[in-house]
Amino acid sequence: MLDRVGAPTNTASILPVELRGVTCRFGRKAVLRGVELELRAGEIVGLLGQNGAGKTTLFTILAGLRQGDAGVRRFAGAEHREVGLEVRARLAWLAHDPQLYPLLSARENVELFVDLAGSTRPSNAPTPTAVLERLGLADVIDRPVGTFSRGMAQRVALARALALVPELLILDEPFTALDRAGRELLADLLRAEADRGAAVLLSSHDLDVIAQLVDRALVLEAGVIQTEVQREPQATSEAFRQRLSASL
């Protein structure tokens, strides 16, 4: 498990994060229809739904990469029609496609994003090298990522997100292409992020992963969050998984 580092202290927190009545349309099609969502510090939330349910659109609105057509987006109680740099610097977005620079090394890919974050990172944040090593990439840290397997590239993308020490982690299918050891490692890292006070929102089609990791799960169907399934105290992962399966 990662050594835990302190949350950023140089600006006010952006948590909790809220979406209220958020609607988004592509042409005549309503992709999101009045979405209500709140993400709090220290919790891991799973977003479930079929392909085309609107999960990626919801993620991009939370990350400030897209504007909804209606509704309110709030960070720490303040409405943000547009998401400025001061907020974006305190969140990390991992797309389903790793979106790495193939000619740059693993270290250079992470260093580039750290440099862009600049002074928003806490003084005790781990170095890019340290994060890559924790993700099991010490032996390939200076190789161009264009030579990596899909699973190795996914680890670099995860290192890039974690190196920012974000308050909000938004992860679209983060377990894609990871082997069993990689999935277990990532689960430990995400628990450590929540333990230090970050809010984590992730999607996955793997109910076993969701059942073992999240504090609660939201089911998105046809652009609406239809169901919330809360982990019950003392409930086993298998019992939670059965409740999740029944909600889909």
Res. 11 pLDDT band, cuts 50 70 90: low
* Residue 72 domain flag: yes
- 134 in any annotated domain: no
Does the residue 39 lie in any domain? yes
What value does the mean pLDDT take over residues 15-41? Answer: 96
Residues 49/51/52/54 CA torsion (nearest 10 deg): 40
Structural domain boundaries enclosing 227:
8-89+204-248
**In contact, 47 and 57? CB cutoff 8 Å:** no
**Contact assessment for residue 219 and residue 203, using Cβ atoms and an 8 Å cutoff:** no
Q: What is the pLDDT of residue 233?
A: 87
Q: Assess if residue 198 is contained within a domain.
A: no
Q: What is the pLDDT of residues 217-243, one digit of tens each?
A: 999 999 999 999 999 988 899 999 999
- Residue 53, classed as helix, strand or coil, is coil
pLDDT digits (tens, 9 = 90+) for 153-195: 999 999 999 999 999 999 999 999 999 999 999 999 999 999 9
pLDDT of residue 88: 84
**pLDDT for 61 beyond 90:** yes
The residues, any chain, with a CB within 8 Å of residue 151's CB and separated by 6 or more, are 177, 178, 179, 182
The structural domain count of the chain equals: 1
Q: What is the pLDDT of residues 190-201, one digit of tens each?
A: 999 999 999 999
Starting at the edge strand found earlier in the chain, the sheet holding 78-79 runs 29-39, 17-26, 70-75, 78-79
C-alpha distances in angstroms, 45 versus 51, 104, 130?
A: 18, 33, 27
CA 52 to CA 50: how far, in whole Å? 6
CATH code of 58's domain: 3.40.50.300
Q: Per-residue pLDDT tens for 78-100?
A: 889 888 878 888 899 999 998 99
DSSP assignments along 81-95, one per residue: SS--HHHHTTEEEE-
Let me know if residue 235 belongs to a domain: yes
pTM comes to 0.91
The answer to whether 39 and 199 are in contact (CB under 8 A) is yes
